[in-house]
Amino acid sequence: MSNEAVAVDNRTFAELGVPDRLVDALAAAGVTTPFPIQSATLPDSLAGKDVLGRGRTGSGKTYAFVLPVLARLATSAAKRRPNQPRALILAPTRELATQIQASITPLADALGLRSMTIFGGVGHGPQITGLRKGTDIVVACPGRLEDHITAGHAKLDAVEITVLDEADHMADLGFLPAVRRILEATPGTAQRLLFSATLDAGVDVLVRRFMNAPVTHSVDSAKSPVARMTHHVLHVQPDTRLPVLVDLTAAPGRSLVFTRTKYGAKALARKLIAQGVPAVELHGNLSQGARTRNLEAFADGTAKTLVATDIAARGIHVDGVTLVIHADPPVEHKAYLHRSGRTARAGAEGTVVTLMTDDQVRDVRDLTRKAGITPQITKLTTGDPLLTTLAPGERTYTTPPPKPAPTQPNQATTTRRRSRGQRPNQRTTGDRPGQRPAGGQSGGDGSAAPTRASSRRGRGRRRGPGRQAA
């Protein structure tokens, strides 16, 4: 790898080499001033060189690779063909792929280019149709893209430029074998751009195997905190954790609350709603439709609090997230930085709060040290004035929706239950799937088969009307 450079200058997009039509499209979208990583990488990527861009989350990496992709395709003589995309952008999560696509769409429309997303959680049909019609740019997650390649719906031999976004996160999620297979299916002469916050061993293998004399640009350290972000650790007791969370999230503005587990995100969102804070959840147990709806509710202000697992730590960008709360401190410092990076994006200010109980003191101390953060640590309880300082403004609460009335079992349900030989209040055995009841065998539907003795007692009996088998 050659000259690692730090380039921060005042050149415009046009002076960096971006074609006029793209400059005009950027201006129409309200983007007029390049961020440092864009200023650093665009001259090399627009010149057709392989580029390795290193920068923290929220540094403006998306346009740093979207612009050279669009510029290359707009000037290429190749035509769009069925099932053969001309550019490929790989992303680790569906949400990140969707947001990259949102950045591409208005610019691609201005150039007459077609783009589409490919990821799991949705039907194969529309993706197969889109590939068959022909597309210039595919923004994809590795797993579903491999499915289409195996089925013959996607062929990568016409790819002119490939981008790997958040390469370190793809390594963390175990996607590197799939990424290697996908890159091997693209032409060796294709231009390749790789963007990553860190250069871990797995990412370095990709760089050495697939990039041709890449120029490396690093606008800041992977550990460097955003200058306009303030970090606080609130030392609370377990019974005050929820009231403190409610106080912070009831303030004006958008809050993003992180938990470690999917169950924790679901449970905490329900508790906040019950306390009058409009909240939605985001985690891997949700369908893609539910994930999309919840993100839209968070973006349009219907719900001002998003409770999420680390699935939202990469790639989720919603304007105006002023507060990030680590309700559960993460295990790794990288996760802390990426979670925190959902606020103070693109020059805005933001506050990061970590809730810490007595048994988490040592872990949080190690976490912040490894992240290069020196937070203000405060021991507090509910009603502390610091809570208003961290999340200013009047607290507002919404009456939670009424709980649906529990449904009563009807007569048909009772009849069906008894038809299986169960009398009221009778206790059954073999409740767990595959469990063999004492003295008998498991029935084909999971219920207990009659014992040999009871079978003998039942022989020769004629079942009268309405009589069920024992």
pLDDT of residue 58: 59
pLDDT of residue 57: 59
> Are residues 178 and 279 both part of a single domain?
no
Domain stop point among 390, 413, 431? 390
Whether 451 is in a domain gets the answer no
Q: Which residue has the tokens 């995309």?
A: 85
User: Judging by beta carbons within 10 Å of its beta carbon (0-12, 13-18, 19+), is residue 174 exposed, middle or buried?
Assistant: exposed
Whether 465 is in a domain gets the answer no
- Give the mean pLDDT of 227-255: 91
234-237 long-range Cβ contacts below 8 angstroms, 24+ apart: 234/353, 234/354, 234/355, 234/356, 234/378, 234/380, 234/386, 235/356, 235/357, 235/358, 235/361, 235/377, 235/378, 235/379, 235/380, 236/355, 236/356, 236/357, 236/379, 236/380, 236/381, 237/357, 237/358, 237/381
> Are residues 249 and 211 both part of a single domain?
no
Quick check: 461 pLDDT over 70? no
Give me the domain span that covers residue 371.
229-390
Q: Rounded CA gap, 293 and 392, in Å?
A: 28
- pLDDT band per the 50, 70, 90 thresholds, residue 104: very high
- Give the mean pLDDT of 66-76: 95
**Is the sign of the CA dihedral 127, 130, 134, 135 positive or negative?**
negative
- pLDDT band per the 50, 70, 90 thresholds, residue 438: very low
> Are residues 37 and 148 both part of a single domain?
yes
- Give the mean pLDDT of 244-264: 94
Whether 418 is in a domain gets the answer no
Domain stop point among 390, 414, 441? 390
Within 167-261, residue ranges assigned H as helices are 167-172, 176-184, 201-210, 241-249
Whether 371 is in a domain gets the answer yes
> Are residues 113 and 188 both part of a single domain?
yes
Q: What is the pLDDT of residues 75-102, one digit of tens each?
A: 988 999 999 999 999 999 888 899 899 9
Name the least confident of 47-56, 234-243, 434-443: 434-443
Cβ pair 78, 40 in contact under 8 A: no
What's the mean per-residue pLDDT of the chain?
82
> Are residues 283 and 144 both part of a single domain?
no
> Are residues 255 and 162 both part of a single domain?
no
In sequence order, the 6+-apart residues with CB closer than 8 A to the CB of 423 are: none
Q: Which residue has the tokens 């760089």?
A: 207
- pLDDT band per the 50, 70, 90 thresholds, residue 299: confident
> Are residues 198 and 300 both part of a single domain?
no
Quick check: 244 pLDDT over 80? yes
> Are residues 168 and 246 both part of a single domain?
no
Quick check: 135 pLDDT over 70? yes
> Are residues 190 and 245 both part of a single domain?
no
Domain count, the chain: 2
> Are residues 208 and 259 both part of a single domain?
no
Instruction: Say what percent of the chain tops pLDDT 90.
Output: 56
345 versus 363: the higher-pLDDT residue is: 363
> Are residues 213 and 233 both part of a single domain?
no
Whether 448 is in a domain gets the answer no
User: Which element (helix H / strand E) includes 4?
Assistant: strand 2-5
Whether 71 is in a domain gets the answer yes
Domain stop point among 340, 356, 390? 390
- pLDDT band per the 50, 70, 90 thresholds, residue 284: confident
Which CATH number do you get for residue 354?
A: 3.40.50.300
pLDDT of residue 178: 94
Integer CA distances (angstroms), 155 to 74, 133, 370, in order: 21, 13, 43
Beta bridge partners of 324: 256, 352
Whether 428 is in a domain gets the answer no
Apex 450 CA angle, 449 and 452, nearest 5: 125
Whether 173 is in a domain gets the answer yes
> Are residues 268 and 366 both part of a single domain?
yes
